[in-house]
């Protein structure tokens, strides 16, 4: 069975979308925040979960190997010494990179006034939101669209696209 580690620091809605979508994949949830809601989701989905500091991750990923590590709302830059132990590591970002890197990307795009934004799935490198792009999906911003509506649309798109991309990568496509 393929092994997938999902790392998140917060709400965990993408973790839940991925876990519900994938079949016959061994998943582990890892959070750097002991009080993150993603851990509650892991509990009710019956998925093993761990709380690890970034420092503890180096040893963990040296000793535990995965077919893929997927970041889903993991809000830390992972240094090279840890990345090199993880194997393939991908991230989901809520904008069309290279536009609007970093935090609050949906808000950055909305306030800038772009007419098209979207999501990006990319390889993780030690440089923020900069690795090779694997997939992107656009979201049109209508003139009448409120910020909340855009945020909701982006999340809906993330919950559909990210699980599909992860499945393809796990299948070697």
Residue 122 bears catalytic tag: no
Closest approach of ligand GAR to the CB of residue 6, in Å: 9
Which CB, 73 or 85, lies closer to ligand GAR?
A: 73
How far is CA 21 from each of CA 24, 75, 94, 154, rounded to the nearest angstrom?
A: 10, 23, 20, 18
Which CB, 62 or 112, lies closer to ligand GAR?
A: 112
Residue ranges that bind ligand GAR, judged by CB under 6 A? 8, 10-15, 72-73, 92-94, 105, 129, 155, 158
Which CB, 34 or 172, lies closer to ligand GAR?
A: 34
Catalytic residue selected from 93, 122, 146, 155: 93
> Cis omega (within 30 of 0) on the bond before 98?
yes
How far is CA 11 from each of CA 39, 43, 51, rounded to the nearest angstrom?
A: 9, 13, 15
Catalytic residues: 93
């Amino acid at each position: 069975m393929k092994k997938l580690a999902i790392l998140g620091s917060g709400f965990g809605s993408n973790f839940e979308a991925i876990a519900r979508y994938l079949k016959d994949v061994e998943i582990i949830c890892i959070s750097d925040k002991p009080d993150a809601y993603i851990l509650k989701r892991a509990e009710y989905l019956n998925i093993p979960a761990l709380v690890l500091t970034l420092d503890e991750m180096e040893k963990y990923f040296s000793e535990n190997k995965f077919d893929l590590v997927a970041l889903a709302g993991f809000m830390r830059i992972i240094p090279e010494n840890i990345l090199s132990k993880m194997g393939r590591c991908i991230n989901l970002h809520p904008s069309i990179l290279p536009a609007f890197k970093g935090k609050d990307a949906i808000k950055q795009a909305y306030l800038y006034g772009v007419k098209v934004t979207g999501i990006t799935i990319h390889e993780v490198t030690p440089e923020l939101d900069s690795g090779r792009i694997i997939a992107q999906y656009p979201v049109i911003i209508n003139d009448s669209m409120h910020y909340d509506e855009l945020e909701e649309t982006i999340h809906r798109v993330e919950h559909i696209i990210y699980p599909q991309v992860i499945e393809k990568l796990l299948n070697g496509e």
